[in-house]
């Protein structure tokens, strides 16, 4: 049952019942219209209340119906709102918890609105690259005023109901029981006529032309590559400058235009990709999880400290284990300093500061952490070191404890073999800084138990991370792909580029940071250590030697004040280095490569298509469950531009045939072996399909 109809005294109550947030799917919309008809035909009914069951009034459109014919099937949300607005009996929206998107548009179609305090009110459509499409841009300015409504629509941010108490949005805020208050309000309004309609309110904003132009200029400067915020301004402008019905037409046309944009498709892809990432085909959603009431972290370095902060932020006590008191003290002091900085910026209350700092304690003894429900090692990336740690953990940790490795490249199955309980071992690859970066790669070993995997996925949500499951391979999803990207970046240097030219080209496409700035930030010595291992393990794989020459001269990046770029004391800004550019040019001469002019298009294609091709192999091998999982890794962990939707989605927008044609061209150049297309790409292109 998607909506329940009952009559209490002389009041009809329509309760939306479509968990978890009473999404306005086709069945719910139909049930509201049918219930409205019943109420209209019943002479005993004097007023109608619309509310939502459970934890929401309504969160808006039903995401299960996105991109399906049901989303626009009649009765559409417009039709539902027309039925409500034109009812001959007063309709009251009784709002609680969550009232967003289409849910708020439905409430605005009611004659009256009452709400509990703390209800979250929003029109968040802009976050999906669209705008409110059922009258939200026309009705909200009529109850909140032009300025406040425009801010809410352009930002999509939720506002607590009590902050809107003085506006015409709410007729009453109810402190006690919502339904008792709503019933009393309905009784009071049962015979009041004429029935007020939001559409009939006039917007009075002197000199609105100047305000709207100021808004356009401000939004244009802030919206970046996304068209939706500016279109929101145009839709709201129509509410001020046109008759209501004409404004609705403008809103609808702008909505339909935005739905077709690549940017909106990319945002919707990311929205659904994040939800899909938590679903693993052979791990049912009702798989029981292990309780995680305490956590231990091995290593108090930058990564270990950052990992510990995630759990403290979620209210989970953490013990950090170190081998030496000095290292432990330094790690705890860094954590405290990080929290102090957040406190100074006003992003943390004194109470929260003290609570979080007190949740993190230190120890020098493995025995002290034995009762932790989860232990994560964040020690040096070396299999010998990992072996020592996991053998000790196997010895001391209580039965049922989850043993996790924060490895970024090493074989989790080998790590699990160091224990007598491989089913309890899992990889949890945090990204640096671990207390900031949203991505958590969850690495599933061959023997990892399903309840351990389900626990890690649930925990990723609790600590506000996007958890993406990867199978075991060298580098997992993210680092395995980035290696191909980095290889191409190195080859581009040998063939004619400078680090600055490569970085600028990819940043112009929307990346947060180019490969050489990224190397300087992370530390070029990390890549150097991996390459040294590759030279032994995979001697057939070629790399540019420019990065090795850079490291041999001690230029490890920002931490040494010099990397691909020069840095000044106290200044993180990269300055092009003549020394490095001369070194690159000399290296090209030494290996007999004649340097040439390389276009930005070639730079971006080689970098991104190298990612895409490796991503296709990862899908072929079943390391990633779905293409959108790869996109989520790159959107949340590697600074891939959100409006491009991730590497696999971006390849789909270009067309895989076009991507393969470009790869064929690059295969004729130096290092052509790097461009052998993945079988999956060839088969999808042959069927005119994409990854997603």
Instruction: Supply the CATH number for residue 599's domain.
Output: 1.10.1040.50
Give the model confidence (pLDDT) of 182-195 as tens digits: 999 999 999 999 99
Q: Is 270 a member of any domain?
A: no
Do residues 650 and 263 make contact, with C-beta atoms less than 8 angstroms apart? no
Q: What percent of the chain has pLDDT over 70?
A: 100
499 in the same domain as 369: no
Same domain, 222 and 90: yes
pLDDT band at 411 (very low <50, low <70, confident <90, very high): very high
268 domain residue, yes or no: no
Q: Which residues are designated catalytic?
A: 105, 125
Tell me whether residue 170 is in a domain. yes
Cβ atoms of 528 and 548 within 8 Å: the answer is yes
Q: Which residues contact 625 (CB under 8 A, 6 or more apart)?
A: 280, 281, 469
pLDDT of the residue at 538: 85
Q: Same domain for 110 and 140?
A: yes
Q: How far is CA 36 from CA 88, 110, 273, 521, in A?
A: 10, 12, 37, 61
Question: Do both 427 and 463 map to the same domain?
Answer: yes
pLDDT of residue 70: 84
Are residue 525 and residue 593 in the same domain, yes or no?
Answer: yes
The pair of structure tokens assigned to 549 is 């020459």
Q: Does residue 290 lie within any of the structural domains?
A: no
Q: Is the pLDDT of residue 295 over 90?
A: yes
Asked if 528 and 466 sit in the same domain, the reply is no
SS (H, E, C) 100-167: ECHHHHHHHHCCEEEEECCCEEECHHHHHCCCCCCCHHHHHHHHHCHHHHHHHHHHCCCEEHHHHCCC
Q: Residue 324 class from Cβ within 10 Å (0-12 exposed, 13-18 middle, 19+ buried)? A: exposed
Q: HSE of 372 in the Cβ direction (CA atoms, 13 Å)?
A: 31
Are 462 and 558 members of one domain? no
* Three-state secondary-structure class, residue 508: helix
pLDDT of residue 614: 98
pLDDT of residue 430: 95
User: Mean pLDDT throughout 160-168?
Assistant: 96
Q: How many distinct structural domains can be found in the chain?
A: 3
Whether residues 241 and 361 fall in one domain: no
Residues 6+ apart with CB under 8 A from 71: 26, 61, 62, 65
Q: Of the candidates 683, 631, 675, 626, which has an alpha carbon nearest to the alpha carbon of residue 657? A: 683
Are residues 438 and 463 located together in one domain of the fold?
yes
- What is the value of pTM for the model shown? 0.93
Based on the fold, state whether residues 444 and 483 are members of the same structural domain: no
Of 602, 407, 582, 417, nearest to 492 by C-alpha is 602
Separation of alpha carbons 305 and 338, rounded Å? 10
**Residue ending a domain, choose from 201, 231, 259:** 259
- Which residue in 134, 186, 165 sits closest to 14, CA to CA? 186
38: domain CATH number?
A: 3.90.226.10
Q: Which domain holds residue 669?
A: 478-686
Mean predicted lDDT score pLDDT of the chain: 96
pLDDT tier, 66 (very low <50, low <70, confident <90, very high otherwise): confident
Do residues 234 and 309 both lie within one domain?
no
For 354, left (φ over 0), alpha (ψ -120 to 50), or beta? alpha
Task: Specify the pLDDT at position 571.
Answer: 86
Q: Could you tell me if 457 and 485 lie in one domain?
A: no
Sign of the CA dihedral with 328 first, then 331, 336, and 339 last: negative
Q: Strands 425-430 and 402-405: what pairing?
A: parallel
Domain boundary among 259, 284, 307: 259
Strand order in the sheet with 159-160: 98-100, 120-122, 159-160
In this structure, the number of other CB atoms found within 10 A of the CB of residue 354 comes to: 13
CA 37 to CA 281: how far, in whole Å? 43
pLDDT for 570 equals 84
pLDDT for 425-446, tens place per residue?
999 999 988 999 999 999 999 9
Evaluate whether residue 168 is within a structural domain: yes
Element (H, E) at 575: strand 571-576
User: In sequence order, what are the residues at sequence separation of 6 or more whose Cβ sits closer than 8 angstroms to the Cβ of residue 24?
Assistant: 16, 18, 58, 60, 61, 62, 77, 80, 102, 103, 106
Residue 224 lies in a domain: yes
Residue 220 lies in a domain: yes
Within-domain flag for 466: yes
């Amino acid at each position: 049952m998607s909506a329940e109809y009952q009559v209490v005294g002389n009041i009809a109550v329509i309760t939306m019942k479509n968990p978890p947030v009473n999404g306005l799917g086709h069945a719910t919309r139909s049930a509201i219209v049918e219930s409205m008809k019943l109420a209209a035909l019943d002479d005993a009914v004097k007023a109608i209340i619309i509310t939502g069951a459970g934890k929401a009034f309504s969160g808006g459109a039903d995401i299960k119906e996105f991109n399906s014919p049901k989303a626009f099937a009649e009765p559409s949300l417009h039709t539902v709102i027309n039925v409500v607005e034109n009812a001959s009996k007063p309709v009251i929206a009784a709002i609680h918890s969550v009232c967003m998107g289409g849910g708020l548009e439905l409430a605005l179609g009611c004659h009256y609105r009452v709400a509990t305090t703390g209800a979250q009110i929003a029109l968040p459509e802009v976050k999906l690259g669209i705008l409110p499409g059922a009258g939200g841009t026309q009705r909200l300015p009529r109850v909140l005023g032009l300025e406040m409504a425009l801010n809410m629509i352009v930002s999509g941010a939720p506002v607590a109901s009590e902050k809107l108490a003085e506006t015409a949005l709410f007729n009453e805020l109810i402190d006690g029981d919502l339904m008792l208050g709503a019933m009393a309000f309905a009784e009071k309004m049962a015979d009041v006529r004429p029935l007020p309609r939001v559409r009939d309110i006039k917007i009075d904003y002197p000199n609105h032309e100047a305000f709207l132009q100021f808004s356009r200029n401000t939004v244009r400067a802030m919206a970046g590559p996304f068209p939706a915020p500016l279109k929101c301004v145009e839709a709201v402008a129509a509410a001020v400058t046109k008759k209501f019905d004409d404004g609705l037409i403008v809103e609808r046309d702008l909505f339909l235009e935005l739905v077709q944009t690549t940017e909106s498709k990319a945002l919707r892809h990311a929205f659904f990709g994040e939800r899909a990432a938590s679903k693993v085909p052979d791990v049912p959603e009702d798989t029981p999880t292990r309780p995680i009431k305490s956590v231990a972290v091995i290593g108090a370095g930058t990564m270990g400290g950052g990992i510990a902060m995630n759990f403290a932020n979620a209210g989970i006590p953490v013990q950090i284990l170190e081998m030496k008191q000095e290292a432990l003290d330094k790690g705890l002091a860094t954590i405290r300093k990080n929290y102090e900085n957040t406190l100074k910026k006003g992003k943390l209350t004194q109470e929260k500061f003290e609570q979080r700092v007190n949740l993190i304690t230190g120890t020098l003894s493995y025995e002290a952490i034995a009762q932790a429900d989860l232990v994560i090692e964040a020690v040096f990336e070396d299999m010998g070191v990992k072996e020592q740690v996991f053998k000790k953990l196997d010895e001391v940790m209580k039965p049922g404890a989850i043993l996790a490795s924060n490895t970024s490249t090493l074989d989790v199955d080998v790590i699990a073999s160091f224990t007598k309980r491989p089913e309890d071992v899992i990889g949890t690859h945090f990204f640096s800084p671990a207390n900031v970066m949203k991505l958590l790669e969850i690495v599933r070993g061959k023997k990892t138990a399903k309840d351990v995997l389900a626990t890690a996925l649930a925990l990723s949500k609790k600590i506000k991370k996007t958890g993406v499951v990867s199978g075991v391979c060298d580098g997992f999803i993210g680092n395995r792909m980035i290696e191909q990207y980095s290889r191409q970046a190195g080859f581009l240097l040998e063939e004619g580029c400078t680090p600055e030219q490569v970085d600028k080209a990819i940043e112009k496409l929307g990346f947060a940071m180019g490969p050489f700035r990224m190397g300087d930030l992370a530390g070029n010595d990390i890549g150097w250590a991996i390459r040294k291992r590759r030279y032994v393990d995979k001697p057939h794989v070629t790399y540019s030697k420019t990065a090795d020459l850079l490291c041999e001269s001690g230029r490890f990046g920002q931490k040494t004040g010099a990397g691909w770029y020069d840095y000044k004391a106290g200044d993180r800004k990269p300055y092009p280095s003549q020394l490095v550019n001369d070194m690159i040019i000399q290296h090209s001469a030494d290996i007999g490569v004649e340097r040439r002019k390389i276009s930005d298009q070639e730079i971006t294609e080689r970098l991104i298509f190298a990612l895409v091709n490796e991503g296709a192999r990862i899908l072929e091998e079943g390391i990633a469950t779905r293409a959108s999982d790869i996109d989520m890794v790159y959107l949340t962990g590697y600074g891939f531009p959100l409006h491009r939707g991730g590497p696999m989605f971006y390849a789909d927008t270009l067309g895989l045939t076009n991507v393969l044609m470009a790869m064929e061209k690059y295969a004729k150049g130096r290092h052509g072996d790097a461009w052998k297309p993945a079988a999956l790409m060839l088969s999808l292109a042959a069927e005119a399909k994409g990854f997603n």
